Protein backbone atom coordinates (compact mmCIF):
# COMPACT_ATOMS: atom_id res chain seq x y z
CA UNK A 1 0.00 0.00 0.00
CA UNK A 2 1.32 3.41 -0.89
CA UNK A 3 1.24 5.97 1.86
CA UNK A 4 0.49 8.67 -0.69
CA UNK A 5 -2.94 7.13 -1.33
CA UNK A 6 -4.53 5.62 -4.42
CA UNK A 7 -3.07 6.24 -7.91
CA UNK A 8 -4.17 9.54 -9.41
CA UNK A 9 -4.93 8.04 -12.81
CA UNK A 10 -7.22 5.47 -11.17
CA UNK A 11 -9.06 8.23 -9.32
CA UNK A 12 -9.44 10.18 -12.56
CA UNK A 13 -10.84 7.07 -14.31
CA UNK A 14 -13.36 6.54 -11.52
CA UNK A 15 -14.40 10.17 -11.61
CA UNK A 16 -14.92 10.28 -15.36
CA UNK A 17 -15.82 6.79 -16.48
CA UNK A 18 -17.85 5.20 -13.66
CA UNK A 19 -21.63 5.74 -13.31
CA UNK A 20 -22.31 9.01 -11.42
CA UNK A 21 -24.93 7.50 -9.09
CA UNK A 22 -22.41 5.35 -7.18
CA UNK A 23 -19.24 7.31 -7.93
CA UNK A 24 -18.91 8.68 -4.39
CA UNK A 25 -20.00 5.38 -2.79
CA UNK A 26 -17.42 3.38 -4.71
CA UNK A 27 -14.63 5.95 -4.30
CA UNK A 28 -15.25 5.99 -0.54
CA UNK A 29 -15.35 2.18 -0.35
CA UNK A 30 -12.08 1.82 -2.28
CA UNK A 31 -10.37 4.45 -0.12
CA UNK A 32 -11.58 2.71 3.03
CA UNK A 33 -10.29 -0.63 1.75
CA UNK A 34 -6.88 0.64 0.64
CA UNK A 35 -6.43 2.27 4.06
CA UNK A 36 -7.23 -1.02 5.74
CA UNK A 37 -4.37 -2.72 3.88
CA UNK A 38 -5.52 -3.67 0.37
CA UNK A 39 -2.79 -3.48 -2.28
CA UNK A 40 -2.50 -1.00 -5.14
CA UNK A 41 -2.93 -3.94 -7.52
CA UNK A 42 -6.28 -4.73 -5.91
CA UNK A 43 -7.26 -1.07 -6.21
CA UNK A 44 -6.40 -1.04 -9.91
CA UNK A 45 -8.34 -4.27 -10.57
CA UNK A 46 -11.39 -2.74 -8.89
CA UNK A 47 -11.07 0.51 -10.86
CA UNK A 48 -10.63 -1.26 -14.21
CA UNK A 49 -13.66 -3.44 -13.54
CA UNK A 50 -15.69 -0.40 -12.47
CA UNK A 51 -14.60 1.47 -15.60
CA UNK A 52 -15.70 -1.43 -17.80
CA UNK A 53 -19.02 -1.65 -15.92
CA UNK A 54 -19.48 2.11 -16.30
CA UNK A 55 -18.87 2.02 -20.05
CA UNK A 56 -21.24 -0.92 -20.52
CA UNK A 57 -23.86 0.87 -18.43
CA UNK A 58 -23.47 4.04 -20.51
CA UNK A 59 -23.77 2.02 -23.72
CA UNK A 60 -26.92 0.37 -22.45
CA UNK A 61 -28.42 3.68 -21.30
CA UNK A 62 -27.84 5.15 -24.77
CA UNK A 63 -28.81 2.06 -26.77
CA UNK A 64 -31.56 3.93 -28.67
CA UNK A 65 -29.11 6.64 -29.73
CA UNK A 66 -26.69 3.92 -30.92
CA UNK A 67 -29.39 2.10 -32.87
CA UNK A 68 -30.63 5.34 -34.43
CA UNK A 69 -27.11 6.42 -35.44
CA UNK A 70 -26.59 3.03 -37.12
CA UNK A 71 -29.91 3.29 -38.97
CA UNK A 72 -29.39 6.93 -39.98
CA UNK A 73 -25.95 6.16 -41.40
CA UNK A 74 -27.49 4.17 -44.26
CA UNK A 75 -29.85 6.84 -45.73
CA UNK A 76 -27.30 9.59 -45.05
CA UNK A 77 -24.62 7.75 -46.99
CA UNK A 78 -27.11 6.81 -49.74
CA UNK A 79 -28.18 10.40 -50.19
CA UNK A 80 -24.55 11.42 -50.29
CA UNK A 81 -23.96 8.96 -53.14
CA UNK A 82 -27.05 10.25 -54.90
CA UNK A 83 -25.76 13.84 -54.79
CA UNK A 84 -22.37 12.80 -56.09
CA UNK A 85 -23.88 10.56 -58.75
CA UNK A 86 -25.90 13.54 -59.93
CA UNK A 87 -22.83 15.76 -60.05
CA UNK A 88 -20.92 13.03 -61.91
CA UNK A 89 -23.66 12.72 -64.56
CA UNK A 90 -23.77 16.47 -64.99
CA UNK A 91 -20.08 17.26 -65.03
CA UNK A 92 -20.77 20.45 -66.92
CA UNK A 93 -22.09 21.85 -63.63
CA UNK A 94 -18.71 21.25 -62.05
CA UNK A 95 -17.00 22.88 -65.03
CA UNK A 96 -19.06 26.01 -64.57
CA UNK A 97 -18.04 26.47 -60.95
CA UNK A 98 -15.71 29.44 -60.81
CA UNK A 99 -14.34 28.64 -57.35
CA UNK A 100 -13.84 24.85 -57.05
CA UNK A 101 -13.08 25.20 -53.34
CA UNK A 102 -16.65 26.31 -52.82
CA UNK A 103 -17.73 22.82 -53.92
CA UNK A 104 -16.17 21.40 -50.76
CA UNK A 105 -18.23 23.70 -48.60
CA UNK A 106 -21.35 22.90 -50.58
CA UNK A 107 -20.68 19.20 -49.96
CA UNK A 108 -20.17 19.85 -46.27
CA UNK A 109 -23.46 21.73 -46.23
CA UNK A 110 -25.24 18.68 -47.69
CA UNK A 111 -23.77 16.59 -44.87
CA UNK A 112 -24.85 19.12 -42.28
CA UNK A 113 -28.38 19.12 -43.66
CA UNK A 114 -28.42 15.32 -43.43
CA UNK A 115 -27.18 15.43 -39.85
CA UNK A 116 -29.66 18.14 -38.87
CA UNK A 117 -32.47 16.11 -40.41
CA UNK A 118 -31.32 13.12 -38.32
CA UNK A 119 -31.25 15.17 -35.13
CA UNK A 120 -34.73 16.55 -35.90
CA UNK A 121 -36.15 13.05 -36.54
CA UNK A 122 -34.61 11.70 -33.34
CA UNK A 123 -35.86 14.70 -31.33
CA UNK A 124 -39.36 14.11 -32.73
CA UNK A 125 -39.21 10.42 -31.73
CA UNK A 126 -37.94 11.47 -28.30
CA UNK A 127 -40.86 13.86 -27.89
CA UNK A 128 -43.45 11.33 -29.08
CA UNK A 129 -42.15 8.46 -26.94
CA UNK A 130 -41.01 10.20 -23.77
CA UNK A 131 -43.52 13.04 -23.84
CA UNK A 132 -40.68 15.31 -22.83
CA UNK A 133 -39.27 18.35 -24.60
CA UNK A 134 -35.96 17.74 -26.42
CA UNK A 135 -35.35 21.48 -26.95
CA UNK A 136 -32.53 21.69 -24.41
CA UNK A 137 -30.49 19.18 -26.48
CA UNK A 138 -31.62 20.20 -29.94
CA UNK A 139 -29.35 23.25 -30.25
CA UNK A 140 -26.35 21.28 -29.02
CA UNK A 141 -27.07 18.48 -31.50
CA UNK A 142 -27.13 20.93 -34.40
CA UNK A 143 -23.57 22.11 -33.89
CA UNK A 144 -21.98 19.00 -32.33
CA UNK A 145 -22.94 16.74 -35.29
CA UNK A 146 -21.25 18.81 -38.03
CA UNK A 147 -18.23 19.48 -35.81
CA UNK A 148 -17.69 15.75 -35.14
CA UNK A 149 -18.22 15.00 -38.84
CA UNK A 150 -15.48 17.41 -39.84
CA UNK A 151 -13.10 16.17 -37.16
CA UNK A 152 -13.63 12.50 -38.05
CA UNK A 153 -13.95 12.83 -41.82
CA UNK A 154 -10.57 14.52 -42.31
CA UNK A 155 -8.47 11.63 -41.02
CA UNK A 156 -10.75 8.85 -42.28
CA UNK A 157 -11.85 10.10 -45.66
CA UNK A 158 -9.88 13.12 -46.71
CA UNK A 159 -11.38 16.42 -47.64
CA UNK A 160 -13.18 15.72 -50.89
CA UNK A 161 -12.58 12.03 -51.43
CA UNK A 162 -15.64 10.54 -49.74
CA UNK A 163 -17.71 10.73 -52.81
CA UNK A 164 -15.24 9.56 -55.38
CA UNK A 165 -13.98 6.30 -53.94
CA UNK A 166 -15.80 3.08 -53.05
CA UNK A 167 -17.64 2.55 -49.79
CA UNK A 168 -16.21 0.92 -46.71
CA UNK A 169 -16.87 0.72 -42.99
CA UNK A 170 -14.25 3.42 -42.45
CA UNK A 171 -16.18 5.75 -44.77
CA UNK A 172 -19.34 5.16 -42.78
CA UNK A 173 -17.62 6.09 -39.50
CA UNK A 174 -18.04 9.91 -39.82
CA UNK A 175 -21.79 9.59 -40.46
CA UNK A 176 -22.27 7.17 -37.59
CA UNK A 177 -20.11 9.03 -35.06
CA UNK A 178 -21.46 12.48 -35.87
CA UNK A 179 -25.10 11.33 -35.67
CA UNK A 180 -24.35 9.51 -32.42
CA UNK A 181 -22.65 12.56 -30.90
CA UNK A 182 -25.55 14.78 -31.92
CA UNK A 183 -28.31 12.61 -30.40
CA UNK A 184 -26.32 11.12 -27.47
CA UNK A 185 -27.80 13.23 -24.63
CA UNK A 186 -31.40 12.41 -25.57
CA UNK A 187 -31.92 9.24 -23.53
CA UNK A 188 -35.08 7.24 -24.01
CA UNK A 189 -35.24 4.99 -20.95
CA UNK A 190 -36.42 7.34 -18.23
CA UNK A 191 -36.24 4.63 -15.59
CA UNK A 192 -32.53 3.82 -15.82
CA UNK A 193 -31.13 3.86 -12.32
CA UNK A 194 -27.45 4.35 -13.00
CA UNK A 195 -27.12 7.49 -15.03
CA UNK B 1 -57.52 -2.98 -16.26
CA UNK B 2 -56.86 -3.78 -19.93
CA UNK B 3 -55.42 -7.03 -21.24
CA UNK B 4 -52.16 -5.22 -21.98
CA UNK B 5 -51.99 -4.01 -18.37
CA UNK B 6 -52.49 -7.55 -17.08
CA UNK B 7 -49.65 -8.92 -19.26
CA UNK B 8 -47.43 -6.04 -18.23
CA UNK B 9 -48.19 -6.72 -14.56
CA UNK B 10 -47.52 -10.47 -14.95
CA UNK B 11 -44.25 -9.80 -16.72
CA UNK B 12 -43.27 -7.28 -14.03
CA UNK B 13 -44.05 -9.76 -11.25
CA UNK B 14 -42.14 -12.56 -12.98
CA UNK B 15 -39.15 -10.28 -13.43
CA UNK B 16 -39.35 -9.07 -9.85
CA UNK B 17 -39.35 -12.56 -8.37
CA UNK B 18 -36.50 -13.79 -10.53
CA UNK B 19 -33.11 -13.42 -8.85
CA UNK B 20 -29.76 -14.07 -10.47
CA UNK B 21 -27.08 -16.01 -8.59
CA UNK B 22 -25.06 -12.92 -7.72
CA UNK B 23 -28.16 -10.92 -6.79
CA UNK B 24 -29.13 -13.74 -4.44
CA UNK B 25 -25.69 -13.62 -2.77
CA UNK B 26 -25.92 -9.84 -2.42
CA UNK B 27 -29.40 -9.80 -0.92
CA UNK B 28 -28.51 -12.61 1.52
CA UNK B 29 -25.45 -10.62 2.58
CA UNK B 30 -27.60 -7.52 3.09
CA UNK B 31 -29.91 -9.54 5.36
CA UNK B 32 -27.08 -11.13 7.35
CA UNK B 33 -25.23 -7.82 7.85
CA UNK B 34 -28.41 -6.17 9.16
CA UNK B 35 -27.70 -2.49 9.97
CA UNK B 36 -24.10 -2.56 8.73
CA UNK B 37 -24.80 -3.45 5.08
CA UNK B 38 -22.89 -1.19 2.71
CA UNK B 39 -20.54 -1.84 -0.23
CA UNK B 40 -17.39 -3.00 1.61
CA UNK B 41 -18.90 -5.50 4.10
CA UNK B 42 -21.26 -6.89 1.46
CA UNK B 43 -18.33 -7.56 -0.89
CA UNK B 44 -16.26 -9.06 1.97
CA UNK B 45 -19.13 -11.31 3.04
CA UNK B 46 -19.47 -12.70 -0.48
CA UNK B 47 -15.68 -13.05 -0.84
CA UNK B 48 -15.53 -15.03 2.43
CA UNK B 49 -17.91 -17.69 1.10
CA UNK B 50 -17.00 -17.58 -2.57
CA UNK B 51 -13.27 -17.57 -1.88
CA UNK B 52 -12.33 -15.24 -4.70
CA UNK B 53 -12.19 -11.52 -5.27
CA UNK B 54 -15.45 -9.66 -5.70
CA UNK B 55 -15.69 -6.43 -7.64
CA UNK B 56 -17.35 -3.61 -5.70
CA UNK B 57 -18.83 -2.19 -8.90
CA UNK B 58 -20.59 -5.55 -9.52
CA UNK B 59 -21.99 -5.36 -5.99
CA UNK B 60 -23.37 -1.87 -6.69
CA UNK B 61 -24.77 -2.96 -10.06
CA UNK B 62 -26.59 -5.85 -8.32
CA UNK B 63 -27.82 -3.55 -5.56
CA UNK B 64 -29.14 -1.15 -8.21
CA UNK B 65 -31.10 -3.95 -9.87
CA UNK B 66 -32.46 -5.11 -6.50
CA UNK B 67 -33.44 -1.57 -5.58
CA UNK B 68 -35.10 -1.16 -8.97
CA UNK B 69 -37.17 -4.29 -8.24
CA UNK B 70 -38.09 -2.89 -4.83
CA UNK B 71 -36.31 -5.69 -2.95
CA UNK B 72 -33.87 -3.45 -1.08
CA UNK B 73 -33.79 0.22 -0.15
CA UNK B 74 -30.85 2.47 0.55
CA UNK B 75 -30.03 5.53 2.60
CA UNK B 76 -26.91 7.60 3.09
CA UNK B 77 -25.13 7.49 6.46
CA UNK B 78 -22.71 10.01 7.90
CA UNK B 79 -19.54 11.08 6.13
CA UNK B 80 -16.36 9.54 7.62
CA UNK B 81 -12.71 10.70 7.38
CA UNK B 82 -11.34 7.26 6.35
CA UNK B 83 -13.55 7.52 3.24
CA UNK B 84 -12.23 10.96 2.35
CA UNK B 85 -15.32 12.63 3.81
CA UNK B 86 -17.73 10.50 1.77
CA UNK B 87 -20.86 8.96 3.26
CA UNK B 88 -21.61 5.24 3.34
CA UNK B 89 -24.70 4.09 1.48
CA UNK B 90 -26.50 1.59 3.71
CA UNK B 91 -28.88 -1.03 2.32
CA UNK B 92 -31.82 -2.78 3.96
CA UNK B 93 -34.01 -5.54 2.63
CA UNK B 94 -37.69 -4.66 2.14
CA UNK B 95 -40.70 -6.81 3.06
CA UNK B 96 -41.08 -7.61 -0.62
CA UNK B 97 -37.40 -8.65 -0.72
CA UNK B 98 -37.88 -11.04 2.21
CA UNK B 99 -40.89 -12.60 0.46
CA UNK B 100 -38.95 -13.11 -2.76
CA UNK B 101 -36.05 -14.68 -0.86
CA UNK B 102 -38.42 -17.15 0.81
CA UNK B 103 -39.98 -18.05 -2.54
CA UNK B 104 -36.57 -18.47 -4.15
CA UNK B 105 -35.43 -20.71 -1.31
CA UNK B 106 -38.52 -22.91 -1.61
CA UNK B 107 -38.12 -23.20 -5.37
CA UNK B 108 -34.42 -24.01 -5.20
CA UNK B 109 -34.92 -26.55 -2.39
CA UNK B 110 -37.68 -28.29 -4.35
CA UNK B 111 -35.51 -28.38 -7.48
CA UNK B 112 -32.53 -29.66 -5.49
CA UNK B 113 -34.58 -32.54 -4.08
CA UNK B 114 -35.35 -33.64 -7.61
CA UNK B 115 -31.68 -34.27 -8.34
CA UNK B 116 -30.60 -37.35 -6.30
CA UNK B 117 -27.23 -37.46 -8.15
CA UNK B 118 -26.32 -34.22 -6.38
CA UNK B 119 -27.34 -35.42 -2.94
CA UNK B 120 -31.01 -34.59 -3.18
CA UNK B 121 -33.69 -37.01 -2.03
CA UNK B 122 -36.58 -37.43 -4.45
CA UNK B 123 -39.82 -37.11 -2.52
- What is the per-residue pLDDT across B71-90, written as a single tens digit (0 to 9) for each? 999 999 988 888 889 999 99
Residue A5: phi and psi, rounded to 5, are: 100, -175
- Please determine, for residue B123, whether its predicted confidence score (pLDDT) is greater than 60: no
Write the pLDDT tens digit of every residue in B1-55: 444 454 444 444 455 567 889 999 999 999 999 999 999 999 999 999 988 899 9
Residue B91 pairs in a beta bridge with: B74
Residue A110 confidence (pLDDT): 80
pLDDT (average), residues B87-113: 93
Strand, coil or helix: B103: helix
Which of the residues in chain A have pLDDT under 50? 1-2, 159-160, 162-165, 191-195
Q: List chain A residues with CB under 8 Å of B43.
A: 29
Q: Nearest-CA distance from B48 to chain A in Å?
A: 15
Nearest CA in chain B to A55: B57
User: If we measure between CA atoms, which residue out of A76, A95, A42 comes closest to residue A179?
Assistant: A76
Best A11, A22, A47 member to test B by mutation, with max B CBs in 10 Å, is A22
Count of beta carbons in the 10 Å neighbourhood of residue B19: 23
Count of beta carbons in the 10 Å neighbourhood of residue A144: 20
Residue B56 confidence (pLDDT): 95
Asked if A58 reaches chain B (Cβ–Cβ under 8 Å), the answer is: no
| Whole-number Å distance between alpha carbons of A19 and A27 | 11
Asked if A56 reaches chain B (Cβ–Cβ under 8 Å), the answer is: no
Residue A101: phi and psi, rounded to 5, are: -60, -30
| Whole-number Å distance between alpha carbons of A40 and A7 | 8
Whether the predicted interface score ipTM is above 0.85: no
Please give the interface size between A and B, counted as residue pairs whose CB atoms are below 8 Å apart.
68
Q: Nearest-CA distance from B25 to chain A in Å?
A: 19
Residue A191 confidence (pLDDT): 44
Q: Do the chains contact at B40 and A54, CB–CB below 8 Å?
A: no
Residue B121 confidence (pLDDT): 60
Write the pLDDT tens digit of every residue in A123-172: 998 888 888 788 888 888 888 988 898 888 776 655 445 444 455 667 78
Residue B72 pairs in a beta bridge with: B93
- In three-state form (DSSP H/G/I as H, E/B as E, the rest C), the secondary structure along chain A is CCCCCCCHHHHHHHHHHCCHHHHHHHHHHHHHHHHCCCCHHHHHHHHHHHHHHHHHHHHHHCHHHHHHHHHHHHHHHHHHHHHHHHHHHCHHHHHHCCCCHHHHHHHHHHHHHHHHHHHHHHHHHHHHHHCCCCHHHHHHHHHHHHHHHHHHHHHHCCCCHHHCCCCCHHHHHHHHHHHHHHHCCCCCCCCCCCC
Residue B10 confidence (pLDDT): 46
Segment (H or E) for B90: strand B86-93
Residue B24 confidence (pLDDT): 95
Q: Nearest-CA distance from A41 to chain B in Å?
A: 12
Write out residues 77-106 of A within 8 Å (CB-CB) of B. Answer: none
Residue A188 confidence (pLDDT): 74
Q: Do the chains contact at A32 and B87, CB–CB below 8 Å?
A: no
Residue A101 confidence (pLDDT): 65
Q: Do the chains contact at A32 and B64, CB–CB below 8 Å?
A: no
- Please determine, for residue B94, whether its predicted confidence score (pLDDT) is greater than 70: yes
Amino acid sequence: MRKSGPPRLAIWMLRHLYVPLHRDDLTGDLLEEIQSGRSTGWYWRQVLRATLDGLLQQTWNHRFALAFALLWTVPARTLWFFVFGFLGRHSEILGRIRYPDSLFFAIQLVVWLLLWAGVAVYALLFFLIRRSSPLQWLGRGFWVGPLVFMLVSFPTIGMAAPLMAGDSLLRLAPYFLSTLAAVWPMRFPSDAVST
Amino acid sequence: MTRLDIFHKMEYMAEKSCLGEFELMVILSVISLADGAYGVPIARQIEKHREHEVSLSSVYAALDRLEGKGLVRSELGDATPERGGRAKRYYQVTASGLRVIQQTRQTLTALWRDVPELGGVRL
